[in-house]
């Protein structure tokens, strides 16, 4: 094994033999079971850093824990994609230093395709063959993906988020401002990051009315981004815990989508425009998609930010829903390169930080991840953080 790991302790550089070091990774070996596993310490090739992970936020892993159905890049021993931490290993000519506090964005985008070169979102990089799953491409052969990170480095661990030591390509790592805590910075991925890009792409601005439907932690992130931009926020939802949380965040109104007059209530709030300017649909359920589309004004924008089941289909009327009402409908699930700087600035705003404190309702040591996932499944929560060092 190599012996180039350097750690700082009391400002003294110590070289450790990595053969004696290991990594701890979270596994979901069976439905409703989570366990830690010991793996070899990550091997970092040129252009990569090793990050000691402080916070690994829970995203879709609650659903994986329940159903044992994985996304293309996940598997029972490869979980998590969000995170912040401290750099503990660099390669020669790195633009980072040991001790840098960073956020890690997910994946290893190619840096060459039109998506990458125009500052768009790395998870939409052409290096990820969304159109070619049926061709049988193995996840480890997708170099832009998380398993690909381990393969290109010849590493037996570290490509994923729920680990003590994470392997990350330098272009997916960003240094944190000194005054930004790990706790607040950890919202830069799927909580406030993806929703920052969605708000930016939808052009949300002061005076707009924004509808958020199907609220989990992504919906809460959409609420915070819209409020930060000076918009009014109307939330469509039924879970009383989450609706109370949205009211505390500052939502103008919470509407029960089962009520007979839910659309009249939206029209009453939007006056002459007869509908909201932008709707963020955060569940992927047709029930909420239909209502978000109906709640838009003419020329409004619907942004899809959630899904539950890739097999779900939704069929709007091309004439009545889209063309007659001139609706723009798009979706996405990542932070654009060009938005990273603005996102970190937003996270330094004290009011945004207060709202992050409200959204992050639970924190668990990674050794108690099963409890974290059970909490996620109750839906009586906002965002949940795992602490891999504990």
Distance of CA 256 to the CA centre of its chain: 26
The piece of 26-34, 53-61, 261-269, 299-307 that touches Zn ion (CB under 5 A) is 53-61
Q: How far is the CB of 371 from Zn ion (least distance, A)?
A: 20
| DSSP H helices in the chain | 61-67, 114-117, 146-153, 182-185, 193-202, 217-228, 240-249, 262-270, 286-295, 340-347, 350-359, 369-378
Backbone torsions φ then ψ of 124, nearest 5 degrees: -110, 10
Nearer to Zn ion, 263 or 377 (CB): 377
Distinct helix (H) and strand (E) counts, the chain: 12, 17
Q: Interacting stretch for Zn ion, rule CB under 5 A, among 59-67, 148-156, 341-349, 362-370?
A: 59-67
Query: Cβ of residue 136: shortest distance to Zn ion, in angstroms?
Result: 22
Q: Which is nearer to Zn ion, 110 or 377 (CB)?
A: 110
We find the least distance from the C-beta atom of residue 206 to Zn ion, in angstroms, to be 28
Instruction: Give the residue with the Cβ less far from Zn ion, 148 or 295.
Output: 148
Could you tell me the smallest distance in angstroms from the CB atom of residue 65 to Zn ion?
14
Closest to 365 (Cα-Cα) out of 26, 1, 136, 13: 26
Q: What is the largest CA-CA distance in the chain?
A: 69
Question: Site residues for Zn ion, window 233-292 (CB under 5 A)?
Answer: none
Nearer to Zn ion, 53 or 234 (CB): 53
Task: Assess 322 for contact with Zn ion (CB under 5 A).
Answer: no
CA-nearest of 232, 152, 224 to 193 is 224
State the residue number with the nearest CB to Zn ion. 59
CB of 120 to Zn ion, least distance (A): 9
**What is the smallest separation between the CB atom of 125 and Zn ion, expressed in angstroms?**
3
DSSP one-letter string for 182-210: HHHHGGGTTTTHHHHHHHHHHT--TT-EE
Nearest by Cα to 226 from 240, 244, 208: 208
82 vs 277 by CB, closer to Zn ion? 82
Check: CB of residue 265 under 8 Å from CB of residue 258.
Answer: no
Q: Which of 127, 295 has the CB closer to Zn ion?
A: 127
Cα-Cα-Cα-Cα dihedral of 280, 292, 307, 159, to 10°? -10
CA-to-CA separations, 257 to 12, 19, 238, 244, in angstroms, rounded: 60, 57, 7, 15
Tell me the site size for Zn ion, rule CB under 5 A.
9
If binding is defined by CB under 5 A, does position 116 make contact with Zn ion?
Answer: yes
**Reduced to 3 states, what is the DSSP secondary structure of residue 351?**
helix
- To the nearest whole angstrom, how small is the minimum distance from the Cβ of residue 193 to Zn ion? 9
CB 105 within 8 A of CB 122: yes
**Beta pairing, strands 328-331 & 296-304:** parallel
Instruction: Write down the least CB distance from residue 34 to Zn ion, Å.
Output: 17
Choice from 5, 59, 84, 146 touching Zn ion (CB under 5 A): 59
Range 122-141, binding Zn ion (CB under 5 A): 125, 127
Work out how close the CB of 343 gets to Zn ion at its nearest, in angstroms, rounded to a whole number. Answer: 14
| Residue 75 DSSP code | B
Residue 264 CB, shortest distance to Zn ion, in Å, is 35
Query: What is the sign, positive or negative, of the torsion defined by CA atoms of 170, 173, 177, 181?
Result: negative
Compose the 181-200 pattern: x for residues touching Zn ion by CB under 5 A, - for all others: ---------x----------
Question: In the complex with Zn ion, which residue's Cβ is closer, 110 or 387?
Answer: 110
240: how many CB neighbours lie within 10 A of its CB? Answer: 10
| DSSP letter for each residue of 292-322 | HHHHEEEEEEEEE---S-TT------IIIII
Q: Does 113 sit near Zn ion (CB under 5 A)? A: yes
C-alpha–C-alpha distance, residues 283 and 63, integer Å: 13
The answer to whether 132 and 194 are in contact (CB under 8 A) is no
Q: Which is nearer to Zn ion, 20 or 118 (CB)?
A: 118
Q: Of 37 and 110, which CB lies nearer to Zn ion in the complex structure?
A: 110
Q: Which stretch binds Zn ion (CB under 5 A): 52-60, 97-105, 274-282, 360-368?
A: 52-60
Report in angstroms how near the CB of residue 109 gets to Zn ion at its nearest.
5
Structure tokens belonging to residue 230? 């000076």
Per-residue binder mask for Zn ion (CB under 5 A), 73-112, x = binder: ---------x--------------------------xx--
List residues binding Zn ion (CB under 5 A).
59, 82, 109-110, 113, 116, 125, 127, 190
């Amino acid at each position: 094994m190599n012996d180039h790991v350097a750690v700082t302790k009391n400002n003294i550089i110590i070289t450790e033999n990595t053969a004696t070091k290991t990594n701890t990774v979270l596994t979901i070996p069976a439905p409703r079971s989570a366990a830690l596993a010991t793996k070899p310490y990550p091997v970092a090739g040129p252009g990569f850093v090793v990050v000691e992970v402080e916070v690994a936020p829970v995203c879709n892993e609650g659903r994986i824990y329940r159903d044992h159905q994985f996304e293309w890049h996940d598997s029972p021993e490869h979980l998590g994609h969000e995170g912040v931490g401290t750099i503990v290993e660099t390669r020669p000519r790195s633009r980072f230093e040991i001790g840098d506090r960073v956020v890690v964005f997910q994946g290893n985008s190619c840096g060459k395709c039109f998506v990458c070169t125009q500052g768009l979102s790395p998870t939409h990089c052409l290096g990820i063959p969304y159109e070619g799953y049926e061709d049988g491409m193995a996840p480890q052969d997708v170099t832009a993906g998380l398993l690909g990170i381990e393969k290109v480095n010849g590493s037996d661990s570290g490509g994923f988020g729920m680990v003590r030591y994470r392997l990350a390509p330098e272009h997916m790592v960003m240094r944190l401002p000194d005054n930004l805590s790990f706790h607040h910075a950890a919202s830069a991925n799927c909580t406030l990051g993806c929703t920052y890009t969605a708000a930016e792409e939808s052009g949300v601005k002061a005076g707009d009315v924004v509808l958020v439907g199907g609220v989990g932690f992504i919906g809460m992130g959409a609420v915070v981004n819209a409020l930060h931009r000076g918009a009014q926020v109307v939330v469509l939802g039924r879970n009383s815990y989450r609706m109370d949380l949205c009211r505390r965040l500052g939502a103008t109104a919470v509407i029960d989508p089962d009520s007979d007059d839910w659309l009249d209530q939206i029209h009453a709030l939007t006056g002459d425009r007869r509908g909201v300017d932008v709707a963020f649909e955060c569940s992927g359920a047709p029930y909420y998609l239909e209502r978000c589309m109906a709640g838009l004004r003419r020329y409004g924008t619907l942004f899809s930010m959630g899904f539950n089941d890739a097999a779900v289909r939704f069929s709007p009327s091309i004439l009545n829903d889209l063309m007659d009402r001139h609706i723009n409908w798009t979706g996405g699930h990542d932070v654009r390169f060009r938005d990273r700087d603005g996102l970190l600035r937003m996270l330094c705003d004290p009011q945004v930080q207060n709202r992050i404190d409200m959204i992050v309702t639970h924190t668990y040591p990674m050794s108690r991840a099963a409890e974290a996932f059970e909490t996620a499944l109750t839906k009586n929560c906002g965002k949940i953080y795992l602490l891999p060092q504990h």
